[in-house]
Chain A
């Protein structure tokens, strides 16, 4: 595999600064590079490229009631794009993305800036406390919040009852908000740490100068620090987009508590899972999964592109 790649790609070429004719020493280096990259690329191909290709292949077929499996072209995709179950799931995660991600990243950014500016006491403790939820597996976080939300022994319901108020409908009409809360709780700290680490990396001279010019801390944060960590914020944004569209654990687990609120297609991922494992419709499931991957890739690309354009303009 390596040799074919080498000959095929060599002319178009990587930006090799040295002449290509290749001395024995250089050839030895190339061989070493391939040897070091090879193990990863083999596993990468087997676990990522091949499954994606297989999903694409499967998605073009359909199991008919009569005649077994037959080629249907893009019919599964056409069906998915007009499938109200799939579309409503997509709309739901889009809503989730638009509401939850700004809140989560906003809170993370504010805390990171506060920690970096050194205006807080007990910084170490605060940083750890905010980060700690990330150490809790998503499954456990969902179980925990599920109990906290619960109408039976959830403390919120107990307090509401104690005050003579109706129980908050966390697991019924507020369900999407409740899921947003679980994800926010889990990931504010993770995003905060990424932003905080990036802030620590800014050369100090950059805002010592601003400070000498009399800029306020708020002004420095807004005009110096945030632009300086743009790429880190972008990273958290892209991870959040990917995460939102992949939502699975929370709805899947809360479904056992509220099966009438969360249907089998609550999120596209849950839908793909149920199609494959409950309905045994692997072809359609592959189309949905592949379409979902496509949506995510396009969206992350758009986010990246628009960020770059903004950067160029400013």
Chain B
């Protein structure tokens, strides 16, 4: 938070911007005089690449199926967003609502479960020296490299053997494992939970589990939320696992449902699914995540910096 000696900044070759006062005070390096309009313009020129597809999605969502083909893709025509939305939410007996519900269910249950398992394990790995601790942690760490999609097919075969395929469990259970979450929580717990505090609680006669639940867990909350968010996004975006596990459309999450609509629309097969429904449905499906990202970016960055620096 301390303002660094900014005079050093002027020595840099970068075109120093004269306006200092406007700069954000939160920057801990106080590098207000190093701002470059030229570099800013260069970066701004790159931004359309990242934003244009999203802009297109918004524009396309306002067009009916005929307009999609007959009007210029990057500009508005008659606004038909409302009727598109009606179409999305009424198609196939309103199945889109079911998909939203499924996505929410899968991602929330998986995220809470995975974050809790990872927090308990990460805390134990960080704060206890116990036989087999290092060995177990190495195994978990190594498993970060195991590709989840290569794993999904054998998991499917196993689940088929015990009649778990095409159930909600088949999507939730594999999503509960987050080796990266354990790694992150271990790094986080090592710093966030003071060992002296644990000793003090022990002197007071608290049991180990009680210490975890009533003392450590509170200190671990930011890390917990980071892992929660990670898993939430991963499950929300997951396509491969539900695609192979589920065969009943009523159990699909949004990703699988939208992909199915897309192939139906592309095939032009009689049903009422149209390109405009796929596009508007896509827009609806990303709104919650975009909003969540905007609000929760602080947590993301805090969590990632813990994992990134010490990794």
Contacts and interface: CB of A to CB of B under 8 A. Distances in A.
Interface of A: 5-6, 8-10, 13-18, 25, 28-37, 39-41, 43-44, 46-48, 50-52, 54-55, 58, 111, 114, 117-123, 126, 128-141, 143-148, 152-155, 158, 185, 188-189, 193-198, 200-201, 204, 208, 211-212, 214, 216-218, 229, 231-232, 234-235, 238, 242, 245-246, 248-249, 253, 256-257, 269, 272-273, 276-277, 282, 285-286, 289-290, 292-293, 296-297, 300-301
> 4 nearest interchain CB pairs?
A32-B208, A155-B73, A197-B305, A55-B154
A48 B50 contact: no
A43 B154 contact: no
Contacts of B258: 139-140, 143
Interface in B58-112: 60, 68-69, 72-74
A44 B139 CA distance: 10
A129 B47 contact: yes
A136 B177 contact: no
Describe B's contact surface by its main secondary structure. Answer: helix
Contacts of A232: 308-309, 311
B11 interface: yes
Given A40-B182, A119-B34, A256-B266, A269 B311 contact: no
Contacts of B174: 47
Interface residues of B, number: 117
B145 A242 contact: yes
Given A43-B173, A135-B290, A16 B131 contact: yes
B105 to A, nearest CB: 16
Contact of A51 (B44, B154, B286): B154
Contact of A249 (B53, B177, B239): B239
B21 to A, nearest CB: 14
A48 B53 contact: no
A134 to B, nearest CB: 8
18 contacts: A9-B131, A32-B209, A35-B209, A39-B120, A40-B120, A41-B121, A43-B173, A58-B154, A117-B34, A128-B297, A132-B50, A137-B237, A137-B285, A140-B282, A145-B53, A147-B275, A290-B150, A293-B150
B200 interface: no
B278 A143 contact: yes
Nearest to A111: B43
A129 B11 CA distance: 31
Given A137-B236, A189-B50, A29 B158 contact: no
Contacts of A129: 47, 50-51
B53 A51 contact: no
Interface string B39-61: 11001100101110110110010
Contact of A132 (B125, B293, B311): B293
B192 interface: no
Contacts of A214: 11
Interface in B237-280: 237, 239-240, 244, 254-256, 258-259, 262-263, 266-267, 275, 278-279
B25 interface: no
Contact of A185 (B50, B121, B158, B267): B50
Contacts of B289: 135-137
A189 B266 CA distance: 30
Contacts of B244: 273, 276-277
B279 A37 contact: no
B155 A51 contact: yes
Contacts of A148: 53, 56, 73
B9 interface: yes
B218 interface: no
B44 to A, nearest CB: 7
Nearest to B49: A185
A258 to B, nearest CB: 10
Nearest to B302: A197
A37 to B, nearest CB: 5
Given A129-B47, A269-B149, A50 B131 contact: no
Nearest to B59: A155
Contacts of A189: 50
B308 A198 contact: yes
B143 A208 contact: no
A230 to B, nearest CB: 10
B212 A208 contact: no
B153 A211 contact: no
Nearest to A188: B50
Contact of A297 (B50, B129, B146, B240): B146
Given A28-B208, A117-B34, A137-B236, 5 more contacts: A14-B132, A43-B177, A136-B54, A153-B68, A201-B305
Nearest to B155: A51
